[in-house]
Amino acid sequence: MNRLARITTEVLAPAVLVAALMLVVGWHAGDTPGVSRWWGLPGAVFAAGIPLAYILRGVRKGSFTSIHIPEREHRRVPLLFGVASVLVGLTALILLGAPRDVLALLGAGGTGLVIYAVVTHWWKMSIHAGVAAGTAATLTALYGPIMLLTVPLVLLAGWARVRLSAHTTAQVVVGALVGALIAGTVFPALR
């Protein structure tokens, strides 16, 4: 079971889900005539690629023990780096005329990073569960109730984090609730 939990943790890692979601949202925005389907690609670079590269560099230098940054006290700086990357990406994409859905997703993601960075000072909420729940909420906002079929992936991500003793059940539940709340309110409000 631990092997399955480790695989699940990697497949449903925040950077993986954020990158995939940015591509899906960009593709969806391309349904509008005259809008490229590839706007999600630069969004994925700023929201997932650059922050992940920063974390990988930290792992290589020995600053972090793994890409999941299990030590709460080491999480704030990478989260704030992620906020900065998202803000730069958001600014660039606004100036380049990216579709509103892509901008809204970056705005919601940046909001989530700020909240997780603040809470991380005191407590280790599950970002895995938060991003999984946010992904489900965003897909539901885009494609309707049929996307509620993605909710079991949220449960699976939470199970994996608890199974690996990376989080308590409370940290997973609160992380998921915060992620769903942000994606369910900020994303639709900015669209």
Convert the pLDDT of each residue in 156-174 to its tens digit: 999 999 999 999 999 999 9
Residue-number span of the structural domain to which 163 is assigned: 2-190
142-157 residue pLDDT tens? 999 999 999 999 999 9
Specify the amino acid at residue 90.
L
- Cα angle, residue 26 at apex, residues 131 and 13 outer, rounded to 5°: 25
- Determine the pLDDT at residue 35: 86
| Among 174, 121, 127, 135, residue whose Cα is nearest residue 9 | 127
- Helices assigned H by DSSP within 30-150: 40-44, 50-61, 76-96, 100-120, 127-143
- Answer yes or no: is pLDDT of 76 > 90: yes
| Among 56, 80, 81, 78, residue whose Cα is nearest residue 67 | 56
Q: What is the residue-averaged pLDDT of the chain?
A: 97
Structural domains in the chain (count): 1
Mean pLDDT for the stretch of residues 14-26? 98
107-138 residue pLDDT tens? 999 999 999 999 999 999 999 999 999 999 99
> What is the share, in percent, of the chain residues with pLDDT greater than 70?
100
